[in-house]
Structure 1
């Protein structure tokens, strides 16, 4: 840690691992319902998989080309090899902590009479059950591979679990053989509930253990009598290289990249530490893995991400509160009528996502609507948004969809959406070279009395009705002519990007990336610095997913040294050193990990008592500020502005699920004001719900406590 302190910023990847430790803390928290603790272990595991697929893979590439001075290399300030070594040490520590937490959870499960059993601990009825299950469901879905007889080692899929099997005879009369079985969890799921002796007991077995039990049947042909099997998985480089071949289209490049991703270079090999040593050496040789190639010995169970879907067999149930309708939209038959009259801010997941879909549905059938334009980054698998757009085309509207084909891990799904939309007559835009489209915006054009009016929305989150139930985001439904004029300018740029960025630079209300946001943020921070030096109130409250841009961090350091009061709510990556004796007012930096994934970006600048409040799709990262189209939107309605400030104040008061973001990455829980417990996600729900019922506000301390709520099942 002493070496860490020599740097101006915390290394991004080390900070990310610290964030994942906060996820692990939720799994360790005994106050969290047991099933949700298991899910947090699954979220932690899924996060780690993606970290290795993307970040570790990138660092390994950088290490291979460490002689070259790349911008990324300079940004890291230390060698990729050094960071890879630090990652290895931190991951091993976290894996040990993970195993301890899982062991404790297993004990708690048994107290609730929930047993995760192996193939060696089955009664006679259960043995017969899994034999039947294997014959009826599993056998036809597995293809054992005798890997020693295959000249070219079979391709091992990322995210799959494999059983490495050793076949032998006790008397030594036959040479040992190695085999490989892919566990078909994609098809059959991972968990099978077994018959139990009593009604109040639940016995669950993993699919790989059903296969283990039936190894003798699988390999009966060979005449062996002893079988050993150990689980392992391979994590591969998931980066898609987009080459500069002008003879191929972006779609062809992405399709090629997806094929290459499936065969990406292994960056991690996770295996049962009890694995037969000869089998391990054999697998390493055939996979061309060296000891340094992130070999991760572990326990018997791998691919813990599946545990996000652990069967709901526990007595203590979560009580997630259902989203409710925004009060301005309760008594109206048409969302559009309200939006044309005044701004409406939806706060997900507290407010229902349905008004967004309803507004698009209304536009699809409104004879006066001529045009709908919308950006889509990550969509739900059965997207109601897409259905409304298809319906709009069938009703004669001109529909344009900016579909970002390079949304990581959604590339394949977005290619399929593109084909469907184009088949229906939708105009699909597929992006700009070297720039991702990450803005969440919608423009609807309507003709009334020969006059065109614009309305739509600007959001911090994806247009995904599924994640809107678990992601904390803000969506402004508006017909403000200044905002919508800028939304129109952004779409003009997306459609005519070859003509340059003049459309983006012409924005007057919205602050777009990559042309303007960095400059405007520096100006607003500089204004607060000037106010502080003039002994006037100077404040900033900033909420985002990640803060890693070094230029803006330097500016925050300058502001803190000048006496600006800085409050930060950062869910994930946080590369700033928040503690420094030269800061006149200590920086308050927290992270909240709880029921919902805090996904919103909100920027509040004091501006000498006339607060400037913005919602944004952009984090303060180089990729967002300089290499993406993003939209940062001012909140002009005073009621909504006050509401957003109130929500962030509640989060800053959290002393249940907030952690301090300190220089040492200790993730200590924020325990100030112990006499009044403030769990911000519950308090925000009650604050907004109370306003919906009564049109009044309450202080957090006046809000009655409600029971614990079920945790999100998605990736953090």
Structure 2
């Protein structure tokens, strides 16, 4: 098959962001969440331009498709992107207009500088003087030899100043809106039951006559814009330079990345708009996107809590095996435990590491870290372990995109405390989520236990990311995790360690091959007239080799069901495939982040939890791990949860080549919203222990 039998990866991703926009448009979703989804859509799009669009532009400059696995030329994809983004922007603006109406019904008003009452004007002037003035540096740009450095992600006001008696006497100025230092939203003094909010850029707009008072201008016009830049970090091949130095150098160069998108208020002064486009070396062929008065909507993920109704988000609860007085460690040494976030509390992981830090019999902890919480309790537990004499090894991935600076800081903190920090492998990210803890008993007997997870060790995101984590003391699993760490300690000498993994499927050495074997087995069973079925739960499915093998399996009669949150590249609507391939995407309150692989295997199911999506970058260019779930009780639990998701007819969308994002039809069936049903399913398991109230 040719790559024409695939949906373009970037176009499929935009379709996913369209599903996020659908949530913002859904009137059954609480108003605060609808606003949050607009913020998520905006933030997603920023990252898409910083990474994917920037990469396509680089390819055009180089005149190559090399290593991009594209089925079309980059310019054709960019043209499609421009069209889809503009369509989504129009839909975004329509949804926001409707939300403003809904906010007014709750007496919540986002007011402009022109709508301030007398008392509010005094408040805004005082707020500006006390909180804002010191954080802004207005720049008169016409007299400068080149445009000042514009920060990626920042919001700017483009200001036109003139005198009313002369249209020719005017100047242009730029002001960076200091959202990070001051906050984007300013609550105005209450007026009865009304809650009135003004955006920081409007506070600055109101104060423009004061800011530029010394020029004598009496007319001011100001509109927002933002520039999105190439976020790729170029890692040079200088062997005399350490990875840390390369990352630090790359971060500095990222700040000077080329613009890949210019988004602006469509009412901006035409002369200023033309001036900015010219000085940024953009052309009309570039992603120049007109929008409404408000930009940088990502801040709206943190819209002030001024709503009449309080959040209905359900609280996490303890796993039934971990609610007794017994230590987490003791439980894991007796049985495997499967945690499901955000339904189960993340405290089980933190408690496990805290116990290890204090246990006199624990001699070492080895753990991988990709994205950590800003005040990480994981890190605190590991530091306490070092202080208690344990040998602690942390594989810290410095190249976790957009977390590079935070991870550099964590490296310094950990090394100061005596933690051995591993920095990974050249040209390969370490994305596996694994931990092994070693206990040495009095008779010199060694016990090992730990976990393999589908998600990051981040207690903050664990409240909103749906992931699975297997806590286990299985010897063969622990042996393979040790092999991974042996490899990471010295990648040049220890590749054989990675290849020696027998229980875990590990990228880049054996996961692709093992997946192929598992699919082939289902094909053989189908051709032999035996039951054959594959269920995949992934974030992304774009690897052409595996997709074509799934096509072969479906054509042979293997029943393939997929739950894929984001990128989905297969064409599954052909006559040969549509009766055997079915795919949905679930976008709801929690972000579906787990990867679960289920192969029927003639009634002896092979079930894996994995950190890897089915993408070339994951399978061939990262260290990833997939752990088998062998306990029949835990297998059934996972199957139950996956079947709940496959039954979703509230938040599930059909995935097809039309990219229409049509909701799964519910007909007269019972409404199944899988995240609510999963919560209830797991909650009742804990309820049976009698440790939580049924109220």
Q: Report the TM-score, using the length of structure 2 for normalisation.
A: 0.98
Aligned ranges 1:374-453 → 2 under 5 Å = 374-448=367-441, 449-453=443-447
User: How far off is 1:225 after superposition?
Assistant: 0.7
SS at 1:10 equivalent: coil
Partner of 1:455: 449
1:359 is aligned to 2:355: no
* Distance in 2 between residues matched to 1:615 and 1:443, nearest whole Å: 17
Partner of 1:495: 489
Asked if 2 retains the 8 angstrom alpha-carbon contact of 1:564 and 1:585, the reply is no
SS at 2:27 equivalent: coil
Aligned ranges 1:446-595 → 2 under 5 Å = 446-448=439-441, 449-583=443-577, 585-595=579-589
Aligned ranges 1:247-286 → 2 under 5 Å = 247-286=240-279
SS at 1:382 equivalent: coil
Q: Which stretch shows the higher mean deviation, 600-609 or 152-161?
A: 152-161
- Indicate how the Cα distance of structure 1 residues 584 and 379 shifts in structure 2: closer, same or farther if over 3 A, else same: closer
Asked if 1 retains the 8 angstrom alpha-carbon contact of 2:3 and 2:71, the reply is no
1:675 is aligned to 2:675: no
* Distance in 2 between residues matched to 1:46 and 1:187, nearest whole Å: 19
Aligned mate of 1:327, from 317, 320, 339: 320
User: How far off is 1:580 after superposition?
Assistant: 1.6
User: How far off is 1:77 after superposition?
Assistant: 1.7
1:182 is aligned to 2:176: yes
User: How far off is 1:173 after superposition?
Assistant: 7.9
Partner of 1:341: 334
* Distance in 1 between residues matched to 2:337 and 2:634, nearest whole Å: 8
* Distance in 1 between residues matched to 2:43 and 2:414, nearest whole Å: 31
Q: Which stretch shows the higher mean deviation, 358-367 or 6-15?
A: 6-15
User: How far off is 1:332 after superposition?
Assistant: 2.6
Partner of 2:59: 62
1:22 is aligned to 2:19: yes
Q: Which stretch shows the higher mean deviation, 437-446 or 134-143?
A: 134-143
SS at 2:407 equivalent: helix
* Distance in 2 between residues matched to 1:688 and 1:173, nearest whole Å: 68
* Distance in 2 between residues matched to 1:80 and 1:140, nearest whole Å: 45
Asked if 2 retains the 8 angstrom alpha-carbon contact of 1:167 and 1:224, the reply is yes
- Indicate how the Cα distance of structure 1 residues 293 and 584 shifts in structure 2: closer, same or farther if over 3 A, else same: closer
Asked if 2 retains the 8 angstrom alpha-carbon contact of 1:563 and 1:584, the reply is no
* Distance in 1 between residues matched to 2:433 and 2:282, nearest whole Å: 42
SS at 1:7 equivalent: helix
SS at 2:589 equivalent: coil
Partner of 1:71: 67
Aligned mate of 1:107, from 93, 101, 114: 101
User: How far off is 1:151 after superposition?
Assistant: 2.0
1:638 is aligned to 2:624: no
Q: Where do 5+ consecutive residues of structure 2 fail to align?
A: none
User: How far off is 1:409 after superposition?
Assistant: 0.2
* Distance in 2 between residues matched to 1:255 and 1:246, nearest whole Å: 15
Q: Where do 5+ consecutive residues of structure 1 fail to align?
A: 697-703, 707-716
* Distance in 2 between residues matched to 1:295 and 1:685, nearest whole Å: 43
1:232 is aligned to 2:225: yes
1:241 is aligned to 2:229: no
Aligned mate of 1:617, from 600, 611, 614: 611
User: How far off is 1:174 after superposition?
Assistant: 6.6
* Distance in 1 between residues matched to 2:498 and 2:687, nearest whole Å: 41
Aligned mate of 2:194, from 201, 205, 208: 201
In the TM superposition, what whole-angstrom CA distance separates every residue of 1:326-352 from its partner, at most 9, and x where no partner exists?
001111341100011110110000000
Aligned mate of 1:371, from 364, 367, 371: 364
User: How far off is 1:313 after superposition?
Assistant: 1.1
User: How far off is 1:413 after superposition?
Assistant: 0.5
User: How far off is 1:128 after superposition?
Assistant: 1.0
* Distance in 2 between residues matched to 1:70 and 1:44, nearest whole Å: 30
SS at 1:499 equivalent: coil
Aligned mate of 1:684, from 667, 670, 678: 678
* Distance in 1 between residues matched to 2:105 and 2:131, nearest whole Å: 31
1:659 is aligned to 2:656: no
SS at 1:41 equivalent: helix
* Distance in 1 between residues matched to 2:98 and 2:168, nearest whole Å: 42
Aligned mate of 1:88, from 82, 107, 119: 82
SS at 1:175 equivalent: strand
* Distance in 2 between residues matched to 1:502 and 1:674, nearest whole Å: 56
SS at 1:375 equivalent: strand
SS at 1:373 equivalent: strand
SS at 1:292 equivalent: coil
In the TM superposition, what whole-angstrom CA distance separates every residue of 1:158-204 from its partner, at most 9, and x where no partner exists?
11110010110011187211111001100111111112321x21111
* Distance in 2 between residues matched to 1:173 and 1:655, nearest whole Å: 60
Partner of 2:91: 97
Aligned mate of 1:316, from 293, 299, 309: 309
SS at 1:71 equivalent: coil
In the TM superposition, what whole-angstrom CA distance separates every residue of 1:87-133 from its partner, at most 9, and x where no partner exists?
00000000000011011111111111111110111111111110111
Q: Which stretch shows the higher mean deviation, 5-14 or 161-170?
A: 5-14
1:693 is aligned to 2:687: yes
User: How far off is 1:695 after superposition?
Assistant: 6.5
* Distance in 1 between residues matched to 2:307 and 2:578, nearest whole Å: 51
Asked if 1 retains the 8 angstrom alpha-carbon contact of 2:65 and 2:73, the reply is no
User: How far off is 1:482 after superposition?
Assistant: 0.9
In the TM superposition, what whole-angstrom CA distance separates every residue of 1:263-283 from its partner, at most 9, and x where no partner exists?
100000101111111111111
Q: Which stretch shows the higher mean deviation, 636-645 or 673-682?
A: 673-682
In the TM superposition, what whole-angstrom CA distance separates every residue of 1:208-233 from its partner, at most 9, and x where no partner exists?
00100110000000111111111000
Q: Which stretch shows the higher mean deviation, 165-174 or 401-410?
A: 165-174
Q: Which stretch shows the higher mean deviation, 455-464 or 150-159?
A: 150-159
* Distance in 2 between residues matched to 1:29 and 1:428, nearest whole Å: 46
User: How far off is 1:583 after superposition?
Assistant: 2.3
SS at 1:577 equivalent: coil
User: How far off is 1:153 after superposition?
Assistant: 1.8
User: How far off is 1:663 after superposition?
Assistant: 1.5
User: How far off is 1:69 after superposition?
Assistant: 5.2
* Distance in 2 between residues matched to 1:489 and 1:580, nearest whole Å: 44
Asked if 2 retains the 8 angstrom alpha-carbon contact of 1:562 and 1:584, the reply is no
In the TM superposition, what whole-angstrom CA distance separates every residue of 1:14-39 from its partner, at most 9, and x where no partner exists?
00000000000000000001111011
In the TM superposition, what whole-angstrom CA distance separates every residue of 1:30-77 from its partner, at most 9, and x where no partner exists?
0001111011000000000000000000000001112x45131xx212
* Distance in 2 between residues matched to 1:669 and 1:332, nearest whole Å: 45
User: How far off is 1:586 after superposition?
Assistant: 3.1
* Distance in 2 between residues matched to 1:579 and 1:695, nearest whole Å: 46
Asked if 1 retains the 8 angstrom alpha-carbon contact of 2:65 and 2:74, the reply is no
The aligned length equals 690
Asked if 2 retains the 8 angstrom alpha-carbon contact of 1:384 and 1:465, the reply is yes
SS at 2:262 equivalent: strand
In the TM superposition, what whole-angstrom CA distance separates every residue of 1:672-713 from its partner, at most 9, and x where no partner exists?
3533010000000000010111269xxxxxxx9x9xxxxxxx
